[in-house]
Structure 1
Amino acid sequence: MCDLMPAAQPAEKIGKMKKLRRTLSESFSRIGDCQGSDSLIKPLDTIPEDRKVQRTQSGFDPFEKPAGQVKRVHSENNACINAKSSSSGKESPKLRRHSSPSSPTSPKFGKADSYEKLEKLGEGSYATVYKGKSKVNGKLVALKVIRLQEEEGTPFTAIREASLLKGLKHTNIVLLHDIIHTKETLTLVFEYVHTDLCQYMDKHPGGLHPDNVRLFLFQLLRGLSYTHQRYILHRDLKPQNLLISDTGELKLADFGLARAKSVPSHTYSNEVVTLWYRPPDVLLGSTDYSTCLDMWGVGCIFVEMIQGVAAFPGMKDIQDQLERIFLVLGTPSEETWPGVHSLPHFKPDRFTVYSPKKLRQAWNKLGYVDHAEELASRFLQCFPKNRLSAQAALHHEYFSHLPPRLWELPDMSSIFTVPSIKLQPESGDSIQVCSKSKATSNSKH
């Protein structure tokens, strides 16, 4: 079963949030010297714009960025910044906790001019994304440049992302190297990862190699279990937010919508998670959710990796999204989902009554992989409390053929340090051409 999140008193929450805003706005401390062996990272595998799959969806989500502003090439965390564009503001004096190069004029961590801009990867509603290189150690970095408004201050999503990532140290979570705070911008400096799962699936359409799906899912659950044990929800799981290194290492990224345990469970927003990966309880207006929210997204991503198509690709609105879910899993009732009738948006007369089907009837490739259908069914449960937790999923029979040593690895050790673990070649390198209907629909990607 999914873990339950502890609740906090509203006064305690408000006090903590104010303290968090004040602390992070006044002084963004250096996270640490850039580390990791990204000298071996290969150039970005680019996909021609006119041949990309458009993973489209309806609007509704106020967290979504206008389609015209965002390229679906990368998550916002795959970014870099130009020294010229971000050093115009006055630097915070408390950001001078850095390593000491031999020369006083040498590049230093925590300074905007320590990074060379290489290319722009995308732009969102409040952040611009660049790929670049550190002048301190020559390593590739990713920078998310957040524009600050004088009257509004630092966007709270940026404060939340920075504060959460400072405390998350795991090989399957993107590493925050550095923070640069000027009058005009706040820049989060991440390790650079050359692609994401969405791009990877676009490059290898028709479903991924079963062994690679197993390794990707194991890493996703490993990183998610780590965050859930710290009472943190990601709340925006989707292929674009799962970065993939050239060696096959998967990293959770983009924690802008993540929430920590200090937020009372009954006041969460129900406008989270990209529509295709949003669970039915949230679609129906529930704001009382826990780690189960993320586990639905895991199930959708699992099916998509195996089948090669999105599990529930809603094309119209929330009603359409729910109909697609109920068509496979069955329309819920009080018997199958206690409390469903009390959810704000559940109106029995609005939904066709469907009986549940075996998942392989909807996604036939699940039947070709041992234990895949059973595991997917444990994630894709309409009743939230029935969904399998990340920690329990790591011990499912689906992973029984993996080396036992994987469960003994320290948090910061990659699964690829185990000699027998490696990605298998994917079959076919063709790029899937998007359909006209997908290309003309609104997309967050």
Structure 2
Amino acid sequence: MREAAILKQLNHQNIIKLYDVFLTDERCYFLLEYMDEDLKRYLDRNRPLDRQMIKNFMYQLFDAMFYCHKHRIIHRDIKPHNILVNHEHQLKLCDFGLGRAFSVPLKSYTHEIVTLWYRAPEILLGSPSYGTPVDMWSLGCIFGEMYQGWPLFHGDSEIDQIFQIFKLLGTPSGNDWPNVFLLPQFKSSFPKFTMQKIQLRQIVDNDEVAYDLLKRLLICDPTIRMAARYALEHSYFAGHKKTLSSITNAKTNHIQYDENNNVI
């Protein structure tokens, strides 16, 4: 019922609308607005994706994410399967089953979140707490996937996943992630990979502006990873025709929290 509590409170054009909830003795059913397919199926059918469509899609996702984060909601399971698309190319975030309100300072939450391929390094390395940057990492992975046509990192285990990340972005050191050595799953014996800037640029067809956005989203240190509101302001979207934006216009219901910081 956590998902229903969250969806009832959120009101944004890029977040799925919940119309009703039906309870039976054994199951709970949600009546949601109709969408045509999920982003995974759309990407599978439309490779390679038009570059202007990527820009349109990513702006919608950042807008929805900024709205969620502004209202203290972390989605925690962003992946193409949990993003829906309609025939007008409007995207909507769905499946807030792992979503939750976050506190300040952030509490320690479960690490059994986010499908492995879209899971942030701090979670893979066992950070005792995490926040909104985990969603931004997932969006960075999706951004690269839209360009490349397949997932950026597709490990078959947590250690394989973290090594795939390090092979592309470099193994973090104390200089670029000061507290990485304190994380439970980080080992000083990890291979010392160096960042593959040429390969990272090639993912976005050597577009320097897209590359700048991608590398700011895929920063291993969550404290300096780009936030949603700044992603919306990035030069990648210069000249992009913006639709109704959560920054200034989106309406919201008053979101209430209980003593355990859960949405009520």
Which TM-score applies when normalising by structure 2? 0.90
Q: How many equivalent pairs are there? A: 250
Distance 1:404 1:160, change over 3 A: closer
How far the C-alpha of 1:272 sits from its partner, in A, is 0.9
Q: How far apart, CA to CA, are the structure 1 residues paired with 2:34 and 2:208?
A: 35
Counterpart of 2:195 in structure 1 is: 356
8 A contact 1:178–1:188 mirrored in 2: yes
Which amino acid letter does the alignment assign opposite residue 391 of structure 1? R
The one of 168, 171, 174 aligned to 1:328: 168
Which amino acid letter does the alignment assign opposite residue 347 of structure 1? K
Gaps of at least 5 residues in structure 1 are: 1-158, 413-445
Tell me the secondary structure at the aligned position of residue 224 of structure 1.
helix
Q: How does 1:33-112 map to 2 (within 5 A)?
A: none
Counterpart of 1:168 in structure 2 is: 10
Tell me the secondary structure at the aligned position of residue 348 of structure 1.
coil
Counterpart of 2:66 in structure 1 is: 225
User: Residue 280 in 1 paired to residue 137 in 2?
Assistant: no
Q: How far apart, CA to CA, are the structure 1 residues paired with 2:111 and 2:172?
A: 19
8 A contact 1:236–1:274 mirrored in 2: yes
Counterpart of 1:178 in structure 2 is: 20
Counterpart of 1:419 in structure 2 is: none
Q: How far apart, CA to CA, are the structure 1 residues paired with 2:107 and 2:64?
A: 25
8 A contact 2:201–2:207 mirrored in 1: no
How far the C-alpha of 1:263 sits from its partner, in A, is 8.8
The one of 231, 236, 243 aligned to 1:393: 231
Q: How far apart, CA to CA, are the structure 2 residues paired with 1:342 and 1:209?
A: 42
How far the C-alpha of 1:406 sits from its partner, in A, is 5.2
8 A contact 2:204–2:211 mirrored in 1: yes
Q: How does 1:310-389 map to 2 (within 5 A)?
A: 310-315=151-156, 317-349=157-189, 351-358=190-197, 360-362=198-200, 364-369=202-207, 371-389=209-227
How far the C-alpha of 1:261 sits from its partner, in A, is 2.5
Which amino acid letter does the alignment assign opposite residue 130 of structure 2? Y
Q: How far apart, CA to CA, are the structure 2 residues paired with 1:363 and 1:201?
A: 21
Q: How does 1:250-289 map to 2 (within 5 A)?
A: 250-262=91-103, 265-289=106-130
Q: How far apart, CA to CA, are the structure 2 residues paired with 1:185 and 1:263?
A: 34
Q: How far apart, CA to CA, are the structure 1 residues paired with 2:116 and 2:2?
A: 22
User: Residue 306 in 1 paired to residue 147 in 2?
Assistant: yes
Q: How does 1:415-430 map to 2 (within 5 A)?
A: none
How far the C-alpha of 1:183 sits from its partner, in A, is 2.4
Counterpart of 2:79 in structure 1 is: 238
Greater radius of gyration (CA): 1
How far the C-alpha of 1:251 sits from its partner, in A, is 0.2
Q: How far apart, CA to CA, are the structure 1 residues paired with 2:170 and 2:176?
A: 9
Q: How far apart, CA to CA, are the structure 1 residues paired with 2:201 and 2:83?
A: 22
Q: How far apart, CA to CA, are the structure 2 residues paired with 1:271 and 1:263?
A: 21
How far the C-alpha of 1:179 sits from its partner, in A, is 1.0
CA offsets 1:90-147 (integer angstroms, 9 cap, x no match): xxxxxxxxxxxxxxxxxxxxxxxxxxxxxxxxxxxxxxxxxxxxxxxxxxxxxxxxxx
How far the C-alpha of 1:287 sits from its partner, in A, is 2.8
Q: How far apart, CA to CA, are the structure 2 residues paired with 1:263 and 1:403?
A: 35
How far the C-alpha of 1:363 sits from its partner, in A, is 5.7
The one of 24, 30, 34 aligned to 1:188: 30
Gaps of at least 5 residues in structure 2 are: 252-264
Tell me the secondary structure at the aligned position of residue 323 of structure 1.
helix
Counterpart of 2:241 in structure 1 is: 403
Q: How far apart, CA to CA, are the structure 2 residues paired with 1:309 and 1:220?
A: 18
Tell me the secondary structure at the aligned position of residue 267 of structure 1.
coil
How far the C-alpha of 1:341 sits from its partner, in A, is 0.9
CA offsets 1:217-262 (integer angstroms, 9 cap, x no match): 0000011110000010000000000100111000000000001025
Counterpart of 1:202 in structure 2 is: 44
Q: How far apart, CA to CA, are the structure 2 residues paired with 1:270 and 1:368?
A: 35
Which amino acid letter does the alignment assign opposite residue 178 of structure 2? P
8 A contact 1:307–1:363 mirrored in 2: no
How far the C-alpha of 1:265 sits from its partner, in A, is 2.3
How far the C-alpha of 1:173 sits from its partner, in A, is 0.1
Q: How far apart, CA to CA, are the structure 1 residues paired with 2:201 and 2:155?
A: 16
8 A contact 2:170–2:194 mirrored in 1: yes
Distance 1:253 1:362, change over 3 A: same
Which amino acid letter does the alignment assign opposite residue 163 of structure 1? A
Which amino acid letter does the alignment assign opposite residue 176 of structure 2? T
Q: What's the RMSD between the two structures over aligned residues? A: 1.8
